[in-house]
Structure 1
Amino acid sequence: MLKKYILIAIVAAAGLWSCNEDSLDASITVDSNFQSGAGGENGWIPGYAGYAATADSSQLDTVAATALLPRGLDTTQYGFRILSRYSKGNMFSYIKKRVTGFKPNKPYEMTLQVDLATKYTASAVVDKVTFKSGVSTKEPLTTKLTSGVYAFNLDKGSGTQVGKDVLLSGSIASTNLDTRYYTLLRYSNDGQPITVTANGNGELWFYAGTDSDYKDTTIFYFDRIIARFKEL
């Protein structure tokens, strides 16, 4: 009998979770913590924009993959590690994710939280790099312009300036004065939920990244990204 009760409990819990996909429950939570190790991107895809099509390896360097968190954080846990360098100008380094299961063209009240690991305290870096994150009904893309520059297709703004497609933004300054160790910054709009409307396919796209005019290498880790929705 004990096994039967355990099975009933499991089925009931699974039923509550699946309610996020239908009309029985108007709440949806998307929680990405990247804890599956290598290959544990949770559907997030990296991208880069702002660099010239003619940039070579002496000017441009990019690496994106899940990795164990660095010293200063829990080194047994994983995050999404983003390395970037563009010596000729501004570059936007980001990750994006498509979320489905919403009702087409239906409005939702949303809160978003992004945990970013940083080690930068020197103003030479901090003053030239801005964290930005947003949500859109269309896919965030890197597109090649006629000028030969790969540009971001959403309005993120330039440098420290914030565009209309940015929901969360802020400084990447570490609170740890020892730059050998990372600290975790949390960006959230929990106090001010916003209304978003899913597209005709019942989808929303998320992105989070760093807008950098720093000409040398920067490395950041996305530790966790959580979006919560309530159907209106």
Structure 2
Amino acid sequence: MKKYILIAILAAAGLWSCNEDSLDASITVDSNFQSSAVGRDGWIHGYAGYAATADTTQLDTVAATALLPRGLDTTQYGYRILSRYSKGNMFAYLKKRVSGFTPNKSYEMTFQVDLATRYSASAIVDKVTFKAGVSRIEPVTTKLTSGIYAFNLDKGTGTQVGKDVLLSGNITSTNPDSRYYTILRYSNDGQPVTLTSNEKGELWFYAGTDSDYKDTTVFYFDRIIARFKEL
């Protein structure tokens, strides 16, 4: 089945009703990156944690939509993230603004990220942590007076989890070989979490790897999906 990109308000039998005057519906944000280089569906990549003085011998970053690698469906696209910072911890992430919510309204949300990865636990255990969250403010990278490019949300550092993280885990596969496999990660162990939209009726998503691994890390976002119920 072909993948698709969808941002929609679903109103169907068994779900919540929706009309022109209300958003008390099931809202689904579903990004599969199924297109060419323009198929990013509003997602923007970023990097944080590295020094402004880092040169190409220490730092390497590449992010773009690309066909999925061998071992998966190579006719389909994902968002490929490559990162390497030999001098310390670095956060490589995607972010996306979603609008259309009722301003300052509480929602119940479930959040899932599908990753294509080829790493075994023995390769990067305790060195690369996957983190994701949803925020009322935009996730950005800012340059500090210390010369470090920092992430503005509280994601924690390395395996430590900050207050703005809803999903935390790793990018390792249980398979013993180095072929790519798709792994699924769920916020709050698949249970709904409650959050509130900002005054503009927006929420910002982010997802990425918090890495102390000094060598190159490559993985693909295969799908990012969130479902909301207005409370």
TM over 0.5: yes
Match of 1:107 in 2: 106
Contact 2:79/2:220, CA 8 A, preserved across alignment = yes
More helix by share: 1
Match of 2:197 in 1: 198
Q: Deviations over 1:135-165 (max 9, x none)?
A: 0000001011111000000000110111110
Gaps of 5+ in 2: 1-8, 13-17
Q: Say how many residue pairs are matched.
A: 218
Picking from 179, 185, 188, the partner of 2:186 is 188
Report the alpha carbon displacement of residue 22 of structure 1 after superposing the two structures with TM: 4.8
Matched residue SS, 1:123: helix
Match of 1:49 in 2: 48
Report the TM-score when normalising by structure 2. 0.89
The one-letter amino acid of 2:184's match is R
- The runs of 4+ residues in structure 1 deviating greater than 2 Å are 14-17, 19-22
Which residues in structure 2 correspond to 1:21-170 (within 5 Å)?
22-23=21-22, 25-121=24-120, 123-170=122-169
Cα distance in 2 between the residues matched to 1:199 and 1:92: 25
Report the alpha carbon displacement of residue 175 of structure 1 after superposing the two structures with TM: 2.1
Contact 1:109/1:195, CA 8 A, preserved across alignment = yes
Matched residue SS, 2:87: coil
Report the alpha carbon displacement of residue 21 of structure 1 after superposing the two structures with TM: 7.2
Match of 2:209 in 1: 210
The one-letter amino acid of 1:96's match is K
Contact 1:65/1:80, CA 8 A, preserved across alignment = yes
The one-letter amino acid of 1:183's match is Y
The one-letter amino acid of 1:72's match is G
Q: Deviations over 1:155-205 (max 9, x none)?
A: 0011011111000111211122111x1111101137410111000000000
Cα distance in 2 between the residues matched to 1:101 and 1:94: 23
Q: Which structure would you say has the larger Rg? A: 1
Gaps of 5+ in 1: 1-13
Contact 1:126/1:172, CA 8 A, preserved across alignment = no
Contact 1:21/1:101, CA 8 A, preserved across alignment = no
Quick one: percent identity of the two aligned structures?
A: 79
Report the alpha carbon displacement of residue 76 of structure 1 after superposing the two structures with TM: 1.1
